[in-house]
Amino acid sequence: MLESEVIAMRTGSEPVTARSPLRMRLWLSLWGTAWALFGLVAFSMNGRPGWAAACAVVLLLAVVDLGVITYRMRQGPHYQPGRDVPPYEPDHGDGRPHGPPPGTDGGRPDQGLTGPSGRP
C-alpha cells in the first residue's frame, strides 16, 4: 500500500465539527412550498388539473418536510450537536468489538460457559 493510499482514521470530533443540514433543509422546503403553491394556483386558474394535482402533491410533501424539520430542530442537541456535546469514542481500527467486553454475561451463570449440549 502506498503512502498516498492511506485512509485517514476518524478522530471522534465529527459531532463537534459537523454542520447540521436542518437549516438548509428548512430554507429549501420553504422555497419548494412557495413554488408548489404558486404552481397549484397558476395551473388551477389555467384549467390544467393534472399539473395542479402534481403541484398539490409537491406542496403536501414540502409541508410535511417542514413539520419534520421543525420537530427535529426543537429536539435540540440530540439531532444538532453543538460545541457542548462531547465527541463519541472513535473507531480504533484494530477490530475490537463494539459490544460489551468479554466476561460480562448480564448475571446469567451459564452464559458462554456451556457447549452446544448445554453442559460445561
Q: Is the pLDDT of residue 118 over 60?
A: no
Comparing 15 with 73, the larger pLDDT belongs to 73
pLDDT one-digit tens code per residue, 81-113: 556 656 556 566 676 655 555 555 544 555 554
Hey, what's the torsion of the CAs at 90, 91, 92, 94, to 10 degrees?
170
Q: Give the model's pLDDT for residue 101.
A: 53
Helix (H, G, I), strand (E, B) or coil at 7: coil
DSSP state of 106: T
Q: Is the pLDDT of residue 117 over 60?
A: no
In whole angstroms, give the CA distance from residue 82 to residue 84: 5
Q: Is the pLDDT of residue 21 over 90?
A: no
In whole angstroms, give the CA distance from residue 110 to residue 75: 42
Whole-number Cα distances in Å, 96 to 4, 34, 69, 90? 26, 50, 36, 11
